[in-house]
Structure 1
Amino acid sequence: MSSIPTPTTPTAHDAGEHEINEINEDELLQLDLNPDLDDVEDVIMEEDNEGSVPPTLKRTFIDNEKQNPEFDDLEDFKPVLDIRSPFESHVDLPQLSRTQENGPNSNARRLSLSQQSKFVSYIDERLLQIQRKFVQSRGLNKEQGYESLSQVLLDFKKLIDLIWYSVDGVSNTDAILQLNLDDTALYQKYQGSESTDFGQSYYLIRISDDLLDYLDKFPLTEQDEFDDDNETNGRFDNGFSSNIGQSMKPETFNADSPRTHGSLRKLFKLLSILDFIFARLIDGKVPGNFRISGTEIVRLIGIAERTRILLPKLMEKNDIHGYHYEISRVYQETLERGT
C-alpha cells in the first residue's frame, strides 16, 4: 500500500524568494483594531515624538468631570465630619479629657452579683422603653413616640455610655475616640487587672443590631432638626463650642451660622463609638484583657457588613450625596480585626 507523500519543508533560502506585500502607513492608520471601543471621545490619540518610525500611538484618558460625570471627585473621599467632636454640643471635650487624663481606667472594678442583677434589669427595661417609643411613633401615639432619628440615637448613646462605664469606668464614650487603637501600651495597661466582664458585650452587640431596624424608619437629615426639644435637637450639634440660641428656627438660620449635620452626623459618630468599643473587645484592650468569643465576632461581622450595605441606600433614599470617606470607615476597625 503506497503512503501519502509528505511535502518537503522549504529552506530559508527558498522562503526568501517569495515576496511579502507590505501595508503602507495610510492603510495602517485606517485599520479598526478595536471595534468595541465606542466611547472614542474620552480617548485622545497622541503621537510619540521621540523620533521612532513609524510613530507609535498611545491613549490618554481625559479626567474631566464634565465629560465624565460618573467619576467621583477626589474631594468626595476626604473627611467631611469630625467624628472626634462631641456627640452633644454641650459636652466639653477638653474638660472631659482632663478628668480622664490618665487614659483608660485599669482600676475599674467588677460589679457585685446584686449590682449585676440590677444592671441587667435596668438595661432590659431601657431597651424595652426604646422599642415602645418607636412603636408609638409609628402611629399609635405619636406624641409619646420618637419624632426624629436623632432622639433614637441619643437614647442609644446614653445606654452605651452606661454599659461602657461598667466595663472600663469611662462615663462618656466620646473619650475613647481620642485613643490610638493600635497602641500596644493600651493592652499592657490592663495586664494583671481584674476583669469587669459579666456579659455586657451581649447588650452592645444587641444595640448595634437593633439600630439597623430603626434607621430606615426615620428621615436621615444633614441639617439639624429645628424644634423646641433643647435636650436633643434644639442645640447645635456640630462639634464646635457655640453659645447660639438653643431654639433657633430655620428662618433665623443664616450662612454665617456653623454648619450642622443633624441625625447624619450623630449616626456616624455613634457607629464610630461602637466600632472602637468592639475593636477593643476583640483585641482584649479592656480590664482583665477580656476578649469576646468567636461566635460574637462572627455575629459582629454580619452586623457590620449589613450596616455598610444599608447606609448608601439610606443616603440615596434621602437624597444625600457625598460622605464617601465616612461610609468607608463604618466598622472598619471591627472588620479588620474580625476577618
Structure 2
Amino acid sequence: MSRPTDSPTTPPHPAANQETRLPDHSLPQSAAADLDLNPELYDDDDDGDDKMAKDDAGGGNNDDEYFEDFEDVKIDLQSYSIPFDTAYEILKLDFDRKSPNNASELQQSKFVNYVDGELLQIQRKFIKNIANMDNIEIYSIFQLAQDLNQVIDLIWYSIDKRSKLFGQDHYLIKIVHDLEDYVSHYDLHHLIEINSPTLLSKENNIKFLKLFTFLQSLDVRLSFLIDGYTLEGTTKVEKISSTELVRLLSITSRLRMMIISKIDPIRLKLNKVASETSNPSNRQAQDLLNLFEVEIGRLFEGILDRSSI
C-alpha cells in the first residue's frame, strides 16, 4: 500500500497462505467508542491486554451474537439503507462535532500497526473459510462485514478536522479493494427460501440490513474524503488525491458489479414467484424485488457520482 512520505510505515503484508504473527498489543474491542489516541492508551504496561485477545477461529463472531440485539425488531422495510444525502449530512454533522485526537507520530505508527493486524486477522479467517474441506461456511459474508465495519469505525474515529490524514484514506481504499476479492467467494441466493411463505426469514432480513448498511457507511465515508475537509485554522483541504480517486473509482465500479452479480440469482428467484399469480407469496416476492432494486441503485452511489471531480 503506497503512502505519503510523511505517513507512518506499515509492516509488509504476507502472502495469502503464509502464517502470520499479529501484534502483541491490541486496542480493546470497544476501541471504536473509547479510542483517545493518547499515550496512556498505548502504554506497554496496560493490563487490559487479556480481555483484548480474539479467538483466532473467529470467536465472538457467530450469528447468534451478531443478531442478538435485533431479536425484537419488526422487519417491514422498503429499503435497508437510507437515502445517501441523508446519510452524508448525518456524517458531516457528526464530523464537525468531533473532538481532536492530536496523535503523535509514535501513536500514529502504533495505530497503523494495530489496523494492519486487524486486517490480517480478517484475511486469515477468510482464508480458513475458503480452504475448509468440508464445504461448511465458517465465516459468512455478514461476519466479514461486521469485522470490517469495526475496523472502518476505528479508522474513521482517528480522523478529525484538526488533523492531517496519515494513511486512513489508503486503508479505506484497501478495504474496498479487498472486498472485491472477498465477495467473489460468497453466494447469497440460498438465503431466499422459495418454499417459505415469507421467502426471506427475519434473521436473513436482518443480515441484509446489516450488509447494505455497512456498504453505505463505507460509501459515505469515502465520499466525504473525496470532497475533503478544511483543516481547522487553515485554508488547507485534506482529501483523497486525484490519483487515488481514479484508482478508487475503478475498484468501486468492479465491486459494485460483483455485488450485483451475487444479487441477480435472488432477483431471478423472486421474479419467478412474483409472476405466479396463484402463489400466495407473489406480493411478498414483488416487495422484496423492489427492496433489492432500491439497494442496487444505492450501491456506492456517492463515490460514483464523484467521478467527475
Identify the TM-score tier after normalising by the shorter chain: 0.5 to 0.7
The CA distance in 2 between the partners of 1:200 and 1:142, in whole Å, is: 38
Counterpart residue type for residue 101 of structure 2: R
Q: Which has the larger radius of gyration?
A: 1
The CA distance in 2 between the partners of 1:304 and 1:136, in whole Å, is: 26
2:307 matched to 1:309?
Answer: no
In structure 2, the residue matched to 1:33 is: none
Which residue, out of 168, 171, 181, partners 1:200? Answer: 168
Pick closer, same or farther for the CA change 1:101–1:213 going to 2, 3 Å: closer
- 1:276-332 CA distances to partner (integer Å, 9 max, x unpaired)? 111110111375541110011101111221122122211124556521121111111
Counterpart residue type for residue 194 of structure 1: R
Which residue, out of 140, 149, 153, partners 1:161? Answer: 153
Q: Which runs of 5+ in 1 are unaligned?
A: 1-78, 86-96, 169-192, 225-250
- 1:179-208 CA distances to partner (integer Å, 9 max, x unpaired)? xxxxxxxxxxxxxx5224111101000001
In structure 2, the residue matched to 1:295 is: 243
Task: Give the match's secondary structure for 1:152.
Answer: helix
TM-score (ref. length: structure 2): 0.54
The CA distance in 2 between the partners of 1:327 and 1:202, in whole Å, is: 25
2:187 matched to 1:219?
Answer: yes
The CA distance in 2 between the partners of 1:82 and 1:285, in whole Å, is: 28
The CA distance in 1 between the partners of 2:225 and 2:104, in whole Å, is: 21
5 Å-filtered alignment, 1:75-114, equals 80-84=78-82, 104-114=96-106
Structure whose residues are more often helix by fraction? 2
Following TM superposition, by how much is the alpha carbon of 1:265 offset from its aligned partner in structure 2, in angstroms?
2.7
The CA distance in 1 between the partners of 2:125 and 2:248, in whole Å, is: 26
Task: Give the match's secondary structure for 1:156.
Answer: helix
Counterpart residue type for residue 227 of structure 2: D
In structure 1, the residue matched to 2:297 is: 328
Which residue, out of 88, 112, 119, partners 1:120? Answer: 112
In structure 2, the residue matched to 1:279 is: 223
Task: Give the match's secondary structure for 1:261.
Answer: helix
The CA distance in 1 between the partners of 2:178 and 2:78, in whole Å, is: 27
Q: Which runs of 5+ in 2 are unaligned?
A: 1-76, 84-89, 271-288
Q: Aligned residue pairs: how many?
A: 197
**Contact 1:220-1:315 at 8 Å conserved across structures:** yes
**Contact 1:110-1:195 at 8 Å conserved across structures:** yes
The CA distance in 2 between the partners of 1:143 and 1:196, in whole Å, is: 45
Following TM superposition, by how much is the alpha carbon of 1:209 offset from its aligned partner in structure 2, in angstroms?
1.1
